[in-house]
Structure 1
Amino acid sequence: MTRITLFAAAAGAALLAGCSDGATDADGDGEITAGEVAAKADAEMVKPEPGLYKATITMTGVDIPGMPPEMKNHGAGMTTTVEECLTEEDVNKGFEELVTQGQEGECTFEKFDLDGGKMDAVLLCKTPQGESRMTLSGTTTRTSSEYTASTKINFEGMGEGTMNFTAKNERIGDCPAK
């Protein structure tokens, strides 16, 4: 769950960037990599405003193989809130670092569309714990994003589980002085 929470926070920050049209498989290998998403976003994105952002991630459903029936959706409703400063330097590093921050394993995008502030993406990851497929949809602006995500995880030797969550990211002010 930590990997998912970290990704949600990183993805929320990344989605603040925004770009139009879907990312394409630039090298024709059948996968949309973080680098391909980043290249398209860097060329077309509206950069996020630097500042202090609050990310609120709420689990809305959990189903893990082997979980007793009475524990179905255990953890649903659990909310995690983090604050992170996005500096001008962070914004200027480009989109790829924001997209890949917090991800364990090898990840590629099956789909990545941002058009007019609406976002629709599918992220595939291979991790030591197994393979996952995360669908994300929502809205984004220069200072906020709000989206829902559903992750299907194939736990090696155990089967498929799901985790669903919502995330809201909003600029809450300037970064604190150091």
Structure 2
Amino acid sequence: MTGVNIEFDIQDALDAVIAIESSLDNTTELFNHIGEVLLDIHAERFNAQESPDGVPWQALSPWYQESKAKQKDKILTLDGNLRSTLHWQIEGNTLLFGTNLVYGAIHQFGGTIKPVRGNALNVGGRPVTQVVIPARPWLGVSAQDKLLLVDVVREHLGFT
């Protein structure tokens, strides 16, 4: 019978596990890197004007596009506040990413807005009491983005 002797030094494997564990003890550097990558991902999304899945955002309604004072060709952009308020924060072992603007959610999920009582909106020269905002998902990650984020983690753990 033919055989092969294989020797394995367990210490090398243990050293690798210890190094990984040490990297996971302090996730601040990793989370900061992921936060920066998420900012880049979402900046590209606003430039492309599309959802995380690559679906173009629904076009602006003609009456709203005409009434915009600026950025008439940009969806989800008037002054750039939604885009510029994206940030991340670290809470323990959790990375939070998003905006603190209240209207971020209605653009993400869609819904109906109603003006404050007595202040009807003027749409096409006529007052309306509510406006339906279509969902234009802007926050999230695509399958390709997930692979990029996995690469960030691999790099952090020394697997590159």
Larger Cα-atom Rg: 2
Please state which structure has a larger fraction of its residues in helix. 2
Which TM bucket (shorter chain)? under 0.3
For normalisation by structure 1, the TM-score amounts to 0.26
Please state which structure has a larger fraction of its residues in strand. 1
For normalisation by structure 2, the TM-score amounts to 0.27
Structure with greater contact order relative to length (CA < 8 Å, sep ≥ 6): 1
